[in-house]
Amino acid sequence: MLTAAMARMHRNLGRRVRLFKHGPDYLDPMLLEVASGAPVYQLHPWMTGVEECRHRVAAAAQQADVILIEGAMGLYDGSPSSADLAVMLGVPVAVVIDARAMAETFAAVVSGLARYRDDLSFYGAIANRVGSPSHAAKLRASMPDDLPWLGAVPRHAALTVPDRHLGLMQAGELADLEQQLDAAATVLAEAGFDALPPMRQWAAPVPLTPPPQRLAGMRVAVARDGAFAFIYRGNIELLEAMGAQVVFFSPLHDHELPAADAIWLPGGYPELHAAALAANRPMLEALRRHHQEGRAILAECGGLMYCASELRDLHGACHPMLGLLPGQAAMADRLVGLGLQAWEAEGGTLRGHTFHHSHFATELNPWMQARRCRGGVGESIYRQGSLTATYFHGYFPSAPELVSRLLGAGD
């Protein structure tokens, strides 16, 4: 939320702001796009690739006055970590530390983060959720002279966002989000956060290799609504760059499919809308006909759950779904799948991740298996006729040829 508030503050000052998110994440970018008024892309040296990371930031720098990159987890957590990304791009790092229960230990944590790697450009520290001016003064006084203090952010309702089992609530579900972001920006401005780091000059971006025109002349229908919203911008742009005409539809609200050669059912929250999905019989029948006609369907995570015979929601109620994939998707009371994974198949290696709170019980044998980034068997991939379904979320630009095959090109 601090990243979003800082973006809105600079935007309200008339600056052109671009935001990026480190790592696989769907929910944070939704909020960051509202805050900045500009597209938000993922940066991850393993998933999106080093060259794409450099290209996207360099391209943004040709137009933006301010670029902010939100990290993931702690500065050094994961591989590649947020620190790895910062070093690779050559950008300075500001650490945000929850200081609500800290005094002098704040300085020790800052010192450890700043000195852990000597190749990191450490810009300074921000104390978050500070209780009072005297609390902020104590934190600042404890800081070593050679480490910059960037300021203290007071506790404030405008800087909180509700969440649920998969993370933040979707931006479209948050009432008065625009007003909240403006209020959060005011909190930061009043705390003195409107200064900018030294200007950096960026060379023009090196063009990326254009993908093959494997989807030329095809129409790809993408589910997008409150139940299906986990969509990387890079995925849509890849489909279009391969020649596809992308159209969107709502399994929740529409009663017919748009004309399409292939369908992508991305992840989301079908468990929150299971009754409405089950009640939309015209859409269920339209999707079943699409499958019966042998046209491709790619279903990811929430899309897999929608394709199952039934879905057991968070309250234990069971709802009939598409029935294209025999078995039951059932919500669990804990995180079931998490982490970076890759799917190797004819056409390339699709990189991505898994993150879900449900099980899929089926007697089907997997068609293929993804592999975990750090070794070991990953998510199962199922194939039923023209349907490919898995809990694995793929980053399409990592394997354009494989993606085109999954969408029926050349079959």
The whole-angstrom separation of Cα 113 and Cα 83 is: 10
Token readout for 377 is 């068997």
Asked whether 30 and 171 are in contact (CB, 8 A), the reply is: yes
Residues classed as catalytic? 301
Asked whether 244 and 218 are in contact (CB, 8 A), the reply is: yes
The whole-angstrom separation of Cα 243 and Cα 257 is: 21
pTM as predicted: 0.93
| pLDDT score for 135 | 96
| pLDDT score for 356 | 85
Domains and CATH numbers, the chain: 2-190 (3.40.50), 219-406 (3.40.50.880)
Segments in the chain below pLDDT 70? 164-168, 410-411
Instruction: Assign 3-class secondary structure to the chain.
Output: CHHHHHHHHHHHCCCCEEEEEECCCCHHHHHHHHHHCCCCEEECHHHHHHHHHHHHHHHHHCCCCEEEEECCCCCCCCCCCHHHHHHHHCCCEEEEEECCCCCCHHHHHHHHHHHCCCCCCEEEEEEEEECCHHHHHHHHHHCCCCCCEEEEEECCHHHCCCEECCEECCHHHCCCHHHHHHHHHHHHHHCCCCCCCCCCCCCCCCCCCCCCCCCCCCEEEEECCCCEEECCHHHHHHHHHCCCEEEEECCCCCCCCCCCCEEEECEECHHHCHHHHHHCHHHHHHHHHHHHCCCEEEEECHHHHHHEEEEECCCCCEEECCCCEEEEEEECCCCCEEEEEEEEECCEEEEEEEEECEEEECCCCCCEEEEECCCCEEEEEEEECCEEEECCEEEHHHCHHHHHHHCCCCC
**pLDDT tens figures, 125-166:** 999 999 999 999 999 999 999 999 999 999 999 888 877 666
Token readout for 372 is 């975990």
| pLDDT score for 206 | 87
